[in-house]
C-alpha cells in the first residue's frame, strides 16, 4: 500500500459508518485545507506616453546630476516627437541616498507637476560595502516613501536599477578596496532585483540599467581586458550614459522607425509610399528617380563624445531606422543626393533592399538633429548642471545646520544665515530655470522637420 492509501482509508471508513447509520457524510477535506485564493496582480506600465505640455522629472544621485543620460533621452523626444513640447527637469544631486531625495522632494519634484518620474538611486544607499540588512532596510523604506509620494502627485514612477559598479576600473587605478571591489556590484544587483519586484507589485514601469552596462562590458573585455565605460568605477562616462539612455528608450519609450520610404515602378510609372512622412513629386529622371520627402521625425543623434556608447547599443539602427528603398533601377552604381548634395553611393541592389540614413552625417536630417542635440547640450551645460550644483550646495547647508542643537545659543544666528543663503539660492535657481527655458524654445524651433529633395542618379 502506498502512502496515499493510508490517507484515504479513514475517510472511506467514515463514509461506510455514516451510510450504515443513515447520517450525512462529513467532507473528507476540511475548509481549512482548501486552496488559497490567488492574488490579483496589477498590469505594469509598459510605456511612457508624453503629450504636448507634459512634464517629466529625472530623480537621482550624482549619475543623474551629470546631466548626460537625461540629456540623451531628452534628445530622443525632441527629435522623434517634435510636435509635442515636453518639459524636462533634472532632479539629480551628487551623493544622494533615498532619504536625501525625500528631503528635497516637494521643491525639486512635486513643484514641477510631473506626469512621469524616473528614479535612479541605490549606488550610495548600499554604502559601498558588503550586503548589510539594516542598510538595505533603510533603502527599502526610503524608496517606498518616494514611490508613495510620486503616486500621491498623480504621477507615474519609473524605478530604475542602480547602475554597474566597475571594480576593474577601480583596480586599474590602483584602488584595491575590499570587500567593496569583490562584493559591491553584486549588492547593487540585489537592490535592483528587489526594486523590480516592488515595481511589479505596484504596477509600475521599470528600467534595468545594471544588465546592459555589465553585459556590454563583459562582451567588450573579450577583446580588451581594460575596457570600461565607468572610468572611476561609479560614474559612467558619456558612452556608458548613452547605453543608459538606450535602456530607458528600449524599456519604456515607443520607438517606431523615423520613416520608411519606398519608391518603385507601378504601372510603368514611379510611385512612392512613406510611413511617418509625406512623399510628393515622384518622377523618373533619366535612369533614376527624384522625389520630395517630408519626414515627421528626425534621427536620434547624440554629441560626438557619446557616439561610442551609441555604437555599443546599435542605437541608430534599433531606435532610428530611417530607411529609403528604391526599386526597379537598372543594374549599376547610383548616387543618392539630398538637396543637390551627394550623401552616398549605392548599387541598384542596395537601393532595392533599402539603405538606412540615420547615422549618415552627410544628410541634412542628421545635421538638423545634431543641431538640436548641441542646443540641448548647452541647455544642460549652461543651465541644468549649474542648477543641480545649487541643490548640492543646499544639501550641504541643510546638513551643517542639522548638526547644531536647536537649543544652542548660536542656533538662531546660524538659522538666519541659512535662510538668507536659501533665499539667494532660490533666486539663482529661478534664473537658471529661465535660461533653460530660453534654450528649450530654441530647441523647439530647430527640431521641426522640413521637406528635402531626393534624387537617385547613375554615378558618373
Q: What is the pLDDT of residues 297-335, one digit of tens each?
A: 999 999 999 999 999 999 999 999 999 999 999 999 999
Q: Which residues pair with 269 in a beta bridge?
A: 266
Residue 317 within any structural domain of the chain: no
Query: In sequence order, what E strands does 267-314 have?
Result: 269-275, 277-285, 288-295
Inter-residue contact 142 to 198 (CB < 8 Å): no
3-state SS class at 238:
helix
User: For residue 421, is pLDDT > 60?
Assistant: yes
What CA–CA distance (Å, rounded) separates 360 from 370?
Answer: 11
- How far is CA 239 from each of CA 164, 287, 399, 454, rounded to the nearest angstrom? 14, 43, 34, 33
Number of domains in the chain: 2
Are residues 92 and 224 both part of a single domain? yes
Name the maximum alpha-carbon separation found in the chain.
Answer: 107
Find where cell 544652542 sits: 408
Would you say residue 313 lies in a domain? no
Which of the listed residues 204, 234, 257 is the one where a domain comes to its end? 257
Alpha helices in 155-283 (DSSP H): 167-172, 180-202, 210-220, 238-252
Nearest CA among 264, 341, 246, 255 for reference residue 302 = 246
Comparing 13-27, 201-215, 346-360, 399-413, which segment has the lowest mean pLDDT?
13-27
Average pLDDT for residues 12-19, to the nearest whole number? 40
The answer to whether residue 25 scores a pLDDT higher than 70 is no
54 lies in which domain range? 43-257
Looking at residue 301, its pLDDT comes to: 97
- Domain CATH for 86: 3.40.50.1110
Pair (213, 338) in one structural domain: no
Verify that 406 and 343 share a domain, yes or no.
Answer: yes
| Model pTM score | 0.90
Please tell me whether residues 366 and 420 are part of one structural domain. yes
Is 47 in the same domain as 140?
yes
* End-of-domain residue from the set 206, 228, 257: 257
- Provide the pLDDT for residue 12: 36
Same domain flag for 135 and 277: no
Indicate whether 93 belongs to any domain. Answer: yes
In a domain, residue 314? The reply is no
Q: Based on the domain organization, do 110 and 205 belong to the same domain?
A: yes
Instruction: Please give the average per-residue pLDDT across 218-229, as a whole number.
Output: 97
At 35, the pLDDT band (50, 70, 90 cuts) reads: low
Phi-psi region of 13 (alpha: psi -120 to 50; beta: other; left: phi over 0): alpha
Contact 159, 204 (CB under 8 A): yes
Residue 227 reports pLDDT greater than 60: yes
Give the model's pLDDT for residue 33: 56
Do 253 and 280 share a domain, yes or no?
A: no
pLDDT of residue 7: 39
In this prediction, residue 13 carries a pLDDT of: 39
Return the residue matching grid coordinates 524599456: 251
DSSP string, 198-224: HHHHHT---B--HHHHHHHHHHHTTT-
Q: Which residue has the cell 548599387?
A: 347
Does residue 47 belong to any structural domain of this protein? Answer: yes
pLDDT higher than threshold 60 for residue 20: no
Task: Quote the CA–CA distance of 26 and 29 in Å, as a whole number.
Answer: 9
Rounded Cα gap, residues 326 and 17, in angstroms = 87
Tell whether the model's pLDDT for residue 370 goes beyond 70: yes
Q: What is the mean pLDDT of residues 146-171?
A: 97
Question: Cα separations (Å) of 419 from 99, 387, 397, 400?
Answer: 22, 18, 10, 13
pLDDT at residue 2 above 80? no
Which of 5-14, 238-247, 391-400, 406-415 is least confident? 5-14
Q: pLDDT-based confidence at 36, cuts 50/70/90?
A: confident
Q: Which residues contact 235 (CB under 8 A, 6 or more apart)?
A: 62, 63, 66
Which residues, including other chains, have CB under 8 Å from residue 356's CB and lie 6 or more apart? 316, 317, 320, 321, 322, 323
Res. 180 pLDDT band, cuts 50 70 90: confident
Distance CA 365, CA 305 (A): 20
Same domain, 67 and 138: yes
Instruction: Provide the pLDDT for residue 177.
Output: 85
Q: Are residues 159 and 178 in the same domain?
A: yes
Q: Is residue 72 part of a domain?
A: yes
Note the pLDDT tens digit of each residue in 106-121.
Answer: 999 999 999 999 999 9
Evaluate whether residue 26 is within a structural domain.
no
Are 443 and 376 contacting, i.e. CB atoms less than 8 angstroms apart? yes
Same domain, 237 and 268: no
Residue 153: the pLDDT is 98
Q: Is 335 exposed, middle or buried (0-12, 13-18, 19+ CB in 10 A)?
A: middle
Claim to verify: residue 352 and residue 365 sit in the same structural domain: yes
Residue 448 belongs to a domain: yes
Amino acid at each position: 500500500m502506498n502512502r496515499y492509501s493510508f490517507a484515504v482509508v479513514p475517510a472511506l471508513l467514515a463514509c461506510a459508518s455514516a451510510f450504515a447509520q443513515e447520517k450525512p457524510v462529513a467532507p473528507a477535506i476540511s475548509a481549512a485545507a482548501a486552496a488559497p485564493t490567488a492574488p490579483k496582480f496589477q498590469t505594469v506600465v509598459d510605456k511612457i506616453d508624453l503629450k504636448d505640455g507634459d512634464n517629466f522629472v529625472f530623480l537621482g544621485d550624482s549619475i543623474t546630476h551629470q546631466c548626460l543620460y537625461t540629456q540623451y533621452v531628452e534628445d530622443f523626444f525632441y527629435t522623434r516627437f517634435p510636435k509635442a513640447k515636453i518639459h524636462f527637469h533634472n532632479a539629480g544631486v551628487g551623493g544622494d541616498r533615498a532619504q536625501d531625495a525625500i528631503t528635497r522632494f516637494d521643491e525639486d519634484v512635486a513643484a514641477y507637476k510631473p506626469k512621469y518620474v524616473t528614479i535612479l538611486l541605490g549606488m550610495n544607499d548600499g554604502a559601498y560595502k558588503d550586503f548589510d540588512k539594516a542598510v538595505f532596510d533603510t533603502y527599502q523604506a526610503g524608496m517606498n516613501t518616494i514611490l508613495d509620494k510620486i503616486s500621491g502627485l498623480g504621477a507615474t514612477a519609473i524605478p530604475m536599477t542602480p547602475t554597474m559598479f566597475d571594480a576593474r576600473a577601480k583596480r586599474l587605478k590602483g584602488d584595491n578596496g575590499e570587500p567593496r571591489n569583490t562584493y559591491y556590484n553584486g549588492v547593487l544587483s540585489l537592490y535592483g532585483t528587489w526594486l523590480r519586484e516592488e515595481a511589479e507589485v505596484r504596477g509600475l514601469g521599470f528600467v534595468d540599467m545594471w544588465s546592459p552596462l555589465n553585459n556590454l562590458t563583459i562582451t567588450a573585455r573579450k577583446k580588451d581586458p581594460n575596457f570600461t565605460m565607468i572610468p572611476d568605477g561609479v560614474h559612467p562616462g558619456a558612452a556608458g550614459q548613452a547605453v543608459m539612455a538606450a535602456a530607458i528608450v528600449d524599456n519604456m519609450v515607443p520607438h517606431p522607425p523615423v520613416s520608411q520610404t519606398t519608391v518603385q515602378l507601378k504601372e510603368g510609372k514611379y510611385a512612392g509610399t512613406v510611413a511617418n512622412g509625406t512623399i510628393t513629386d515622384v518622377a523618373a529622371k533619366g535612369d533614376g528617380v527624384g522625389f520630395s520627402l517630408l519626414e515627421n521625425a528626425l534621427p536620434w543623434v547624440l554629441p560626438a563624445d557619446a557616439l561610442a556608447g551609441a555604437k555599443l547599443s546599435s542605437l541608430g539602427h534599433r531606435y532610428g531606422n530611417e530607411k529609403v528603398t528604391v526599386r526597379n533601377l537598372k543594374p549599376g552604381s547610383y548616387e543618392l543626393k539630398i538637396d543637390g548634395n551627394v550623401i552616398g553611393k549605392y548599387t541598384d541592389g542596395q537601393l532595392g533592399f533599402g539603405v538606412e540614413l540615420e547615422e549618415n552625417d552627410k544628410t541634412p536630417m542628421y545635421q538638423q538633429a545634431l543641431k538640436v542635440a548641441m542646443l540641448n547640450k548647452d541647455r544642460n551645460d549652461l543651465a541644468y548642471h549649474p542648477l543641480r550644483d545649487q541643490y548640492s550646495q543646499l544639501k550641504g547647508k541643510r546638513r551643517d545646520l542639522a548638526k547644531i542643537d536647536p537649543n544652542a545659543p548660536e542656533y538662531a544666528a546660524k538659522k538666519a544665515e541659512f535662510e538668507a543663503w536659501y533665499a539667494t539660492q532660490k533666486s539663482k535657481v529661478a534664473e537658471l530655470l529661465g535660461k533653460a527655458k530660453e534654450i528649450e524654445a530654441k530647441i523647439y524651433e530647430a527640431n521641426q522637420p522640413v521637406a528635402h529633395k531626393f534624387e537617385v542618379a547613375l554615378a558618373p
